[in-house]
Structure 1
Amino acid sequence: MSTAMTYYQQAIKTELPSMEVPGSNGFIGDIAVSNDKDKTIVGGFFRMEKSDEPLVYEYTYHEMKIIVEGEMIITDQEGTTVHAKVGDVFYFPKGSVITFQSPNYGIGFFCGQRKEGEA
């Protein structure tokens, strides 16, 4: 018998590993992963802190993100820029090149169509 739900108490407080991009303070961690081998989805947190350099990220999968704390400046490859605040939701299709910055820090919860650790 499978569990109907999994509970991750205070998951937002999870220490996130660095994305290890020189000059950029981006951190990401997968929290929850589906067991569906054909249509795996991953949920977790992304934290962007004020940095010398923005984080430029190319999506190799589809992702949705909601800003849950702080703020970020998010720019797509076409030059559209959004000053994202708590409650703002984004969809990044596979192939998107997105630039993340923050005047202080921001945390987003994401759900991506990928396997664990593929970010």
Structure 2
Amino acid sequence: MISSGTDLNRFLDALVRGKLLRPAQQRQMMTTRPTGNPDGRAYGLGLGLGLESRPLPHGGLYWGHGGDILGYGTVGGATADGRQATVMVNLNAGGTDAQDADMKAAVQTALCAGRHA
């Protein structure tokens, strides 16, 4: 799939805000289970496989997922109230933990802009 950050933001917004699925499918997709990861991430069940929820520092959570292939990386997220953010890199050194953490932090910072913890 080839897309831009704007494309991913538009898709995640429509997905998270219930514009792509029927209500029952939406509820199923957004039913998650904790991963045991200390960052608070939860992974979707059923139709939600591939969709993660993550807590935001100011409260609430965002939905999204990242992906990479040698040389490229993407992390996107959207909130139920209509905020979206995507970070893309084309110098991905193979998905290092530090780079992944920086990309997720950038998405969280963008989603929290103007909000207070």
Superposition TM-score, scaled by structure 2 size = 0.35
* Structure with a larger share of its residues in strand: 1
Superposition TM-score, scaled by structure 1 size = 0.34
- Whose relative contact order is higher, 1 or 2, with alpha carbons under 8 Å and at least 6 apart? 1
* Structure with a larger share of its residues in helix: 2
